[in-house]
Homo-oligomer: A and B are copies of this chain.
Amino acid sequence: MKNVKDFDKKEAIFQAMLELISKHGFHSSPMSEVAKQADVAAGTIYHYFKSKDELICALYVRLKEKYIENLFLTDDQNKPFKERFRHFYLQMIIEAQKNPKEFYFLEQFSNSPFISTIPKAEITRLDQPVYDFLRKAVFTQILRDIPPKILVAFVMGSANAIIKLQLSGEFQMTSSDLELAFFTCWDGIKKI
């Protein structure tokens, strides 16, 4: 019972903070509002987290972990790499579309001074799956011989920009547009 309740409250707090920050930003998301939205007392938050900053950082790690994990959930290692990459690329876009709040939070966080409070090792750990995924393909000469860090930045950076375009509602993306986006990335990174 206790564990269930614990889980529920912590979860509710995370969810509330996510909702508020994705909509209003870090400031304009007061703890009192988080408490209200999570249906707990303000003081209760401090039983689970030392401070607001710690809560935000914990939320980041949690969401990032989940996001990356989801990208590989349906990865079929038996398929040819190009197909796996296509799946991966489109999965990023689909995942963000299904969870815009999570996406906005992550982008906001990683473009703010908050990001520098996360130890480099932790960030490396979080990115590891993507890193490994692409590095292996460089190694097996499927992908261009680019330093993996650049490769990861290129792939995810371009994908994120496209996601933002789509989420902004400024541009209605069709499935053939998505296919085009995939090819644009693929033709850039594949070994010639």
Determine, out of A5-13, A58-66, A80-88, A160-168, the stretch whose residues face the partner at the interface: A160-168
Which residues between 43 and 102 of chain A lie within 8 Å of chain B, taking CB atoms?
A: none
The answer on a CB contact under 8 Å between B184 and A114 is: no
Nearest-CB residue, chain B, relative to A164: B153
**Copies of this chain, tallied across the complex:** 4
List A109-154 residues whose CB lies under 8 Å from chain B: 111-114, 120, 144, 146-147, 149-151, 153-154
Q: Which of B24, B150, B171 contacts A177 (CB 8 A)?
A: B150
Question: With A149-B170, A161-B157 in contact, is A113–B24 under 8 Å at CB?
Answer: yes
Q: Considering the chains assembled together, what is the distance between the CA atoms of A157 and B162 in angstroms?
A: 8
- Chain B proximity of A53: nearest CB distance (Å): 11
Give residues in A with beta carbon < 8 Å to B.
23-28, 107-108, 111-114, 120, 144, 146-147, 149-151, 153-154, 156-162, 164-165, 170-171, 173, 177, 180-181, 184-189, 192
